[in-house]
Amino acid sequence: MKKTFKLENLGCANCAAKMENAICKLEGVSNATVNFMTTKMVIEADEDKMEQIIPEAEKIVKKIEPYVVVKKA
Amino acid sequence: MKKHLIRIIISSLIYAIAFLVPSDILWLHLALFLISYIIIGGDVIARALANIKNGNVFDENFLMGIATIGAFLVGEFEEGVAVMLFYQVGELFQDYAVRQSRKSIADLMDIRPDYANVKRENELVRVDPEDVKIGDIMVIKPGEKVPLDGIVIEGNSMLNTSALTGESVPRDIEPGNDILSGCINMNGLITARVTKEFEESTVSKILDLVENASNKKSNSEKFITKFARYYTPTVVIIAVILAILPPILFKGETFSDWAYRALSFLVVSCPCALVISIPLSFFGGIGGASRKGILVKGSNYLEALAKTEIVVFDKTGTLTQGVFNVQEIKPENISKDLLLEYAAYVESFSTHPISLSLKRSYHKEIDNRRISEVMEIPGHGVTAIVDGKKVIAGNSKLMEQEGISCYQGEVIGTIVHVAVDHVYAGYIVIADEIKIDAAKAILNLKSSHIKETVMLTGDNRITAKKVADILGISKAYWELLPTDKVEKLEELLKQKTEKGKLVFVGDGLNDAPVLARADIGIAMGGLGSDAAIEAADIVIMTDEPSKIATAIKISQKTLRIANQNAIFAIGIKIGVLILSAAGYASMWAAVFADVGVTFIAILNAFRALNVKNL
């Protein structure tokens, strides 16, 4: 299943790349993209693991750019 | 952003005052520089500290913080502040550029309808398009966007489809016509029944495609992200070595001089310019293409398209209209009208495209009472009794079987011979018409340095050759069954060079296997055809084959810009690194190599969005 989020205040392209990399490595994630231009994050993962993955992903985002606000799109 | 600007101004003022203070009052001098530095760089330092706490050491903030504080420590106060100031100005510009490009992307995506006027219990209510269901009745006023796909039940109007197709000629619509979401109603009031939910409507599908296209990364993007991952740590390690080794190894070299060089290194180590400008170029290219009614489903396809060597076309529906029409009526001993009438009657029960075209061309109603004993002979034709006479219509094989001698010449298209009571009455030629801009399409492809254009068709040799000749296509293969087409494509794939790409263009309906086998599959006439959008890598919304050359031109321009950015950014960075290691470049140059380069690269990437003259 696929979920899309909006990352407000996403400020640096390299950070977006770092987030993407780290989220891709989370268990159960089959693919993830963080698009700097559209400020959108798309996570593809197994349906039953999505619940755990979302807070993990959010943590990663916050860790790399603390000012970013993750919102459901 | 305004705050940012005010901080820059105040800080610069204090910085200027510091120069007016006589330098023998050292404490005041230093204090002013410090205040100026805190105003301008406080947030950078705060962010750097926060990130260190999170275990993120080498980010831009940290590097800038270390470099400028380092400058203070080696006694370069003015430079420490100035570099931070310069950096912030650069950030401001960069921020502006990013904002502008995000905005133009948002404008591009501004085809999403905000509301729908729906009839609920005889009242017109304005609702969110997502809350509308299939079967609901919607009303679209002049100037409004069509919110969901539907079918017109009342009202005539003209629709502007340019947001979807890039086509400026409006489309006439009347009751019974399908309308697509995202089009703009120009003059009349339309009432329509919703046929698709918002999620499934054309506008949602297109937006989804364009927004997610940049998630499929091109090779140059993958290269840059990989490069960036190694680049920063490498530069940082060299910086450390640079600060420590030379002062120890060589006599007379001061620690502060080499520390300064190392600090400049740190400033250049941020890979932002690279990481942002290349994806942005592709994003711009994809956005620009969609403005022209060309949907590219991934950056990787846009990149591949620029390396096209061979373009293979399917004939019917791609280069030709895909609609058969009567081209010639050649009667023998009867009138033209009568020949057509007999042909139309005898074929009236068939749904074959050829029969349909005869009926269309006849224009009058068919009176079923005049016809009886209809017999269809597959692969040959039809026989029937019309007005008491035995009429035979079909190809020359049928005539032979019946022992009737007929015209033996070759024609372009399909020939239908007609005999009445065993006497030859003449023939009718039916052919598919070549699209108006097909010749231009081939010509433009040649001028974009495409090595070869090929046409595949199930049609006969004469028709294939004629069409290929008229259009200037270099190779044509005829009488191919759908499976033969895949085989031919395999053969052609072997003929291109390793780096070159093969493009197949079809209508996306009957050629899905061929579309999938080609390096890049392009489907024509995608507007309103979900199958075509599904099957292809690139979808041309209109029926114009000339858009293929446009797409290739856009891809070439995009790739050129992406390459320029990569070479420019990497070149400047490495150049400044070498110069600062040798002691020729100041920290200023280093800041330019960071934010300045990013800013210029973004501006350059911006050009990809402009596809007006392609």
How far CA B181 is from CA of B108, B162, B199, B432, in Å, comes to 16, 12, 11, 31
CB B36 within 8 A of CB B9: no
Q: Is A59 on the interface with B (CB under 8 A)?
A: no
B378 pLDDT tier (thresholds 50, 70, 90)? confident
Domain that holds residue A23: 2-72
- Low-confidence winner among B21-30, B36-45, B245-254, B306-315 (lowest mean pLDDT): B21-30
- The per-residue pLDDT for range B522-534, each reduced to its tens digit, is 998 767 677 777 7
- Percentage above 90 pLDDT, chain B: 23
From the list A17, A35, A39, the residue facing B275 with the nearest CB is A17
Asked if CATH classification 3.40.50.300 holds for the domain at B133-196, the reply, yes or no, is: no
* Burial of B364 per CB tally in 10 Å (0-12, 13-18, 19+): exposed
Taking the CA of residue A48 and the nearest CA in chain B, the distance in Å comes to 24
Active site residue B149: no
Secondary structure of residue B184 in the 3-state scheme: strand
CB B573 within 8 A of CB B590: no
Q: CA neighbours within 13 Å on the CB side: how many for B115?
A: 9
**Range list for CATH 3.40.1110.10 in chain B:** 321-433
Structure tokens at B215: 């998630």
**Range list for CATH 2.70.150.10 in chain B:** 133-196
Taking the CA of residue B556 and the nearest CA in chain A, the distance in Å comes to 21
Residues in A touching B279 (Cβ below 8 Å): 13, 36-37
How far CA B241 is from CA of B227, B258, B485, B511, in Å, comes to 21, 10, 62, 61
Is it the case that residue B540 has pLDDT exceeding 80? yes
Q: Taking Cα atoms as reference points, which of B267, B265, B233, B254 lies closest to residue B578? A: B265
Residue B455 is predicted with a pLDDT of 94
Structure tokens at B564: 């320029």
CB B403 within 8 A of CB B299: no
Residue B363 is predicted with a pLDDT of 84
Alpha carbons B608 and B270: distance in angstroms, whole number = 24
CATH number at residue A11: 3.30.70.100
Helices B272-291, B219-249: axis angle to 10 degrees equals 160
Alpha carbons B440 and B418: distance in angstroms, whole number = 38
Residue B392 region by backbone torsions, left for phi larger than 0, else alpha for psi between -120 and 50, else beta: beta
From the list B47, B212, B275, the residue facing A13 with the nearest CB is B275
DSSP single-letter state for residue B592 = I
Taking the CA of residue A40 and the nearest CA in chain B, the distance in Å comes to 9
Residues B345-359, buried b or exposed e (16+ Cβ, 10 A)?
Answer: bbbbebeeebbebbb
**What's the domain count of chain A?**
1
Is it the case that residue B117 has pLDDT exceeding 90? yes
CB contact under 8 A, A13 and B56: no
The residue-averaged pLDDT of B490-500 equals: 91
DSSP single-letter state for residue B435 = P
Secondary structure of residue B383 in the 3-state scheme: strand
**How confident is the prediction for chain B on average, in pLDDT?**
86
* CATH code, B321-433: 3.40.1110.10
The position carrying tokens 């060309």 is B294
Nearest C-alpha in A relative to B55: A63
Q: How far from each other are the two terminal CA atoms of chain B, in whole angstroms?
A: 35
Alpha carbons B566 and B593: distance in angstroms, whole number = 13
Residue B528 is predicted with a pLDDT of 64
Alpha carbons B50 and B229: distance in angstroms, whole number = 22
Q: CA neighbours within 13 Å on the CB side: how many for B182?
A: 26
How far CA B591 is from CA of B10, B250, B597, in Å, comes to 21, 28, 9
The residue-averaged pLDDT of B266-287 equals: 83
The residue-averaged pLDDT of B226-243 equals: 86
B152 pLDDT tier (thresholds 50, 70, 90)? very high
- Percentage above 70 pLDDT, chain B: 98
Residue B377 is predicted with a pLDDT of 82
Residue B31 is predicted with a pLDDT of 87
Is it the case that residue B583 has pLDDT exceeding 90? no
The position carrying tokens 């800041």 is B591
Is it the case that residue B59 has pLDDT exceeding 90? no
Q: Which of B16-20, B67-71, B336-340, B507-511 has the highest mean pLDDT?
A: B336-340
Q: Is A40 on the interface with B (CB under 8 A)?
A: yes
A34: β partners:
A41
Alpha-helical runs (H) found in B536-586: 546-581
